[in-house]
Amino acid sequence: MSRSLIIDCDPGVDDAVALFLALGAPELDVLAVTTVAGNVGLDLTTRNARLIVERAGRGDIPVHAGCDRPLVRAPVEAGEFHGASGLGDWAVAEPARPPAPGHAVQALIDLVMARPEGSVDLAILGPMTNVALAMRLEPRLAGRLGRIAVMGGARSAGGNITASAEYNIFADPHAAAVVLGSGAEVIVFGLDVTHAVLATPERIEMIRATSGDAAAATADLLDFSARIERAAVGRAGAPMHDPCPIAWLIRPELFELRPARIAVETTSPLTLGATAVEFRLGQGEAPSTRWAVAADAQRVFDLLATSLERLP
Ligand code: BDR
Ligand code: CA
């Protein structure tokens, strides 16, 4: 039995890999992809999402464009890690299909509210602007959703944009505070765990050896990220951030989670977007949020190869 899933994202090289991972997984029924401004501007993230679903042979999945800027703060992009197009050095063309009609925020609400409570999961792979707005527009949404699997934040790893802030949270801390404080079941995959899921040369070769165009396209994305990562931070292997929440939705046993109280810094200029992750819970306290502390990186890549094999 597959679970219904909406993917909110800002492709983005690792968002693209995450989309391929989801689209090749029979465990997931992707109802829609919603896009947000983040790594690159909204026009590009929306075009890129359409290109990816089409390359996966799933041009039938609606792609709804969402918010073109964060709730409060000024936009921050991350094109230096994703290339000017957002898709590394892929030769990008215009997708065959236009974006689906209707704003992403309304689409999220309509898709979830029309289905039984708890039956639709949500993956958030970029700034959380769309989801925060949807929760404000439809206050019943948080209680209606299934699990929300998020890529964002950092605890022991430190930040990748500032000393303490990770990009997705830094890019819209106010939205992240709304989602993490909503009472919904939120599982957060921050840099502590994504920095352990590295696209090493051996793993990229394994993906390249996998059959199909989607696998070859993914290997190109991984090569691009690995090159940028080495040049920018000297790391041997690019972290596969966004595939982590998707991999958890498919195979939860690949990750170790801990219940935690998670809050976002929204006022301090010095630590804006930092995630305060508190494992010391009160007696009987059962937070609705969990924090990923460990991953089986090799099996995440094996899972990616399995998904890609199912795509054209
Ligand atoms: C996150 O930031 C973006 O650049 C990536 O796509 C990922 O979602 C990692 O910090
Ligand atoms: Ca992303």
Q: Read off the CATH number of the domain in which 160 is found.
A: 3.90.245.10
pLDDT of residue 138: 98
Distance 273 CA to ligand 1 centre (A): 14
pLDDT in tens, 155-194: 999 999 999 999 999 999 999 999 999 999 999 999 999 9
Could you tell me the pTM of the whole model?
A: 0.98
What pLDDT band is residue 66 in, cutting at 50, 70 and 90?
very high
The active-site residue out of 64, 82, 174, 241 is: 241
pLDDT at 260 over 90: yes
- Structural domain tally of the chain? 1
**H-state helical runs in the chain:** 13-23, 42-55, 79-82, 104-113, 129-137, 141-144, 167-171, 173-180, 191-194, 201-208, 213-233, 243-250, 297-309
Give the residue-averaged pLDDT of 98-113.
98
Lining ligand 1 with CB less than 6 A are 12, 14-15, 39, 78, 81, 125-126, 151, 160, 166-168, 241-242
- What's residue 233's pLDDT? 87
Read off the DSSP letter of residue 152.
Answer: -
- What is the phi/psi pair of residue 232, to 5°? -80, -45
Domain encompassing residue 105: 3-309
**Which ligand sits closest to the CA of 244?**
1
57: its two tokens: 């042979």
Q: Tell me the CA–centroid distance for residue 165 and ligand 1, in Å.
A: 12
241 annotated active-site: yes
